[in-house]
């Protein structure tokens, strides 16, 4: 096993479980549908709220996708193989998260223009929404991986993981929706996007290490 | 500098004996200072020219809010110590302080709401600082929840260390959110490093109650740590002797 073959194997196994990817996307669509139904279907409410709705739906679907990230590897002993392989566990975590990120985010971004239209999001701010998703979601995935690794040994870890991880998502959501609001007011968005990128970079530096520590403690 | 005292603190037995000497004293001195500060602040300090008497809740609200943040910072540092040097007492510390911090964050939210009603005209606003204290409270609850969910002690200790270390990233956001978002909440009133922006007779009681609450909470945390140490070391000989000597 080396890093390239590991990534290929991860990618292939994700590709062969297309239903999981589809489920994450359907969940995203479902959450977005709840807002017009539950709050207000008029464009006066939806247009300004669209950015926030999209980001809340994204955060929830990311958590759903990340929650089972290490579950199978834990059950079939792959995590022990990781530790025994002599490769850096942090890098393996990073590769696994990268594969998962591509698998969830590419379909989501492709579906986004349609959903954005349904929420009456102005076309001019669609690019900012996409940019904020591209820059912000790596942080969501990386932080979520820590929670997934911590709760992997629990049979009902999902709720606990939500409780642990969701508070950490709040700064990302605040700055992402801030950028989208600024775009709708025709203001400069580069500041907020830069902070989003900074958060992802910090997460990129620290989260794989934390995840590796948690994996080592869980396997034991 | 001599670091033996610090290394000694890593041993549960030594810590237990050291804490038995200090915890009680800290609690009582802290309680006394807190009482002086609060009574002085509530009854004798001059009323605020703008907010009148309603500002007096500051003598509860500000110390409690400071402590809610300090406890989390301390937990984060302890988490780092637990992961890097694997000191036995660091996870015990996190477990004990988490509850104290959660209570403080809760009181901070509650007293803030009570203060907000007369001054802002509303119990709650979605202001950055209020929200981040709410998040802080949720983070405390997360630490407590994962501690309770994991049965394996070694793994649970690692997990809380990771969670508190990661959560500390939230602290600077809390601290600087007022400057970042410039919102309804007034900027921090209490800084030791700067000349106070309020008159001395208002500031001194605040200093007393803040100091008192810090000492009081430190004492309470030490008591909780002692209990936890006894639980974890229940098979050790010195615990048996300690319990016997107490006359049981």
Token pair of B17 as six digits? 């004996």
Task: Identify the pLDDT of residue A184.
Answer: 87
Task: Identify the pLDDT of residue B176.
Answer: 59
Neighbours of B118 (CB within 10 A): 13
A4-8, A55-59, A86-90, B204-208: segment of lowest average pLDDT: B204-208
Q: Which residue of A has its CA nearest to B150?
A: A154
**What percentage of chain B reaches a pLDDT higher than 90?**
29
* pTM score: 0.84
Angstroms from A150 CA to nearest CA on chain B: 6
The answer, for A65 touching chain B at a CB cutoff of 8 Å, is: no
B159 neighbourhood in chain A, CB within 8 Å: 150, 214, 217
Task: Identify the pLDDT of residue A167.
Answer: 84
A93 neighbourhood in chain B, CB within 8 Å: none
- pLDDT tens by residue, B10-57: 788 888 888 888 888 999 999 999 999 888 888 877 777 777 777 788
Query: How distant is the alpha carbon of residue B120 from its chain centre?
Result: 27
Contact B142, A163 (CB under 8 A): yes
**What percentage of chain A reaches a pLDDT higher than 70?**
100
Task: Identify the pLDDT of residue B182.
Answer: 47
B142 neighbourhood in chain A, CB within 8 Å: 163-164, 167
Best of A162, A198, A217 to substitute, by most chain B Cβ atoms within 10 angstroms, is: A217
Q: A160 vs B173: CB contact, 8 Å cut-off?
A: no
The answer, for B154 touching chain A at a CB cutoff of 8 Å, is: yes
Task: Identify the pLDDT of residue B178.
Answer: 45
Task: Identify the pLDDT of residue B191.
Answer: 61
Beta-carbon pairs below 8 A across chains A and B = 62
B131 neighbourhood in chain A, CB within 8 Å: 170
- Position B130 pLDDT exceeds 90: no
3-state helix, strand, coil in chain B (%, to 5): 80, 0, 20
The answer, for A208 touching chain B at a CB cutoff of 8 Å, is: no
Facing residue for A168 by CB, picked from B145, B155, B166:
B166
Residue whose C-alpha is closest to residue B147's, from A68, A151, A168: A151
Query: How distant is the alpha carbon of residue B242 from its chain centre?
Result: 29
Per the prediction, chain B carries an average pLDDT of 83
Residues 4-63 of B with CB under 8 A from A: none
Contact A145, A69 (CB under 8 A): yes
Residue A86 region by backbone torsions, left for phi larger than 0, else alpha for psi between -120 and 50, else beta: left
Q: Write the CA distances from B80 to A97, B11, B47, B158, integer angstroms.
A: 24, 18, 44, 10
The answer, for A159 touching chain B at a CB cutoff of 8 Å, is: no
Best of B140, B149, B154 to substitute, by most chain A Cβ atoms within 10 angstroms, is: B149
Cα–Cα distance, B205 to B45 (Å, whole number): 8
Contact A196, A134 (CB under 8 A): no
- pLDDT tens by residue, A133-167: 999 999 999 999 999 999 988 888 888 888 888 88
Phi and psi dihedrals of B2, rounded to 5? -90, 120
Best of B166, B168, B177 to substitute, by most chain A Cβ atoms within 10 angstroms, is: B166
Task: Identify the pLDDT of residue B247.
Answer: 63
A200 neighbourhood in chain B, CB within 8 Å: none
Contact A104, A11 (CB under 8 A): no
Mean pLDDT of B188-204: 68
- pLDDT tens by residue, B99-109: 999 999 999 99
CA-based torsion, A22, A28, A29, A30: positive or negative: positive
């Amino acid at each position: 096993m080396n890093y390239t073959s590991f990534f290929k194997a991860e990618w292939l196994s994700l590709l062969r479980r297309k239903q999981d990817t589809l489920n994450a996307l359907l969940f995203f669509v479902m959450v977005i549908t709840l807002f017009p139904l539950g709050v207000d279907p008029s464009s006066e409410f939806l247009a300004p709220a669209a950015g926030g709705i999209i980001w809340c739906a994204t955060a929830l679907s990311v958590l759903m996708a990340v929650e089972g990230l290490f579950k199978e590897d834990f059950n079939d002993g792959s995590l022990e193989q990781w530790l025994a392989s002599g490769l850096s566990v942090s890098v393996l975590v990073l590769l696994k998260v990268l594969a998962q990120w591509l698998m969830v985010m590419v379909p989501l971004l492709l579906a986004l223009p349609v959903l954005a239209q349904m929420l009456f999001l102005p076309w001019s701010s669609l690019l900012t929404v996409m940019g904020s998703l591209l820059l912000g979601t790596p942080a969501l995935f990386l932080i979520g991986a820590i929670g997934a690794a911590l709760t992997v040994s629990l049979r009902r870890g999902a709720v606990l993981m939500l409780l642990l991880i969701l508070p950490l998502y709040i700064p990302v959501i605040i700055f992402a929706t801030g950028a989208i609001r600024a775009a709708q007011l025709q203001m400069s968005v580069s500041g907020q996007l830069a902070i989003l990128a900074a958060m992802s970079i910090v997460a990129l530096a620290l989260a794989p290490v934390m995840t590796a520590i948690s994996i080592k403690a869980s396997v034991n | 500098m001599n670091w033996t005292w610090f290394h000694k603190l890593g041993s549960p037995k030594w810590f237990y004996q050291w804490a038995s000497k200090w915890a009680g004293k800290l609690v009582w001195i802290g309680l006394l200072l807190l009482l002086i500060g609060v009574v002085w602040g509530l009854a004798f300090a001059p009323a605020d020219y703008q907010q009148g008497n309603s500002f007096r809740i500051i003598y509860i609200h500000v110390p409690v809010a400071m402590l809610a943040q300090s406890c989390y910072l301390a937990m984060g540092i302890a988490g780092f110590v637990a992961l890097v040097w694997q000191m036995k007492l660091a996870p015990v510390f996190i477990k004990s302080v988490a509850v104290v911090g959660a209570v403080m964050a809760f009181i901070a939210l509650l007293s803030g709401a009570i203060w907000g009603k007369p001054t802002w005209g509303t119990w709650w606003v979605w202001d950055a600082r209020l929200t981040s204290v709410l998040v802080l409270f949720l983070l405390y609850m997360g630490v407590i929840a994962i501690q309770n969910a994991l049965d394996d002690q070694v793994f649970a200790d690692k997990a809380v260390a990771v969670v508190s270390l990661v959560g500390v990233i939230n602290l600077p956001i809390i601290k600087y959110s007022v400057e970042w978002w410039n919102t309804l909440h007034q900027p921090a009133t209490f800084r030791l490093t700067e000349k106070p922006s309020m008159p001395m007779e208002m500031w001194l009681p605040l200093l007393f109650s803040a100091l008192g609450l810090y000492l009081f909470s430190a004492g309470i945390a030490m008591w909780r740590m002692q209990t936890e140490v006894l639980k974890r070391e229940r098979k050790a000989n010195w615990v048996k002797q300690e319990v016997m000597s107490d006359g049981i």
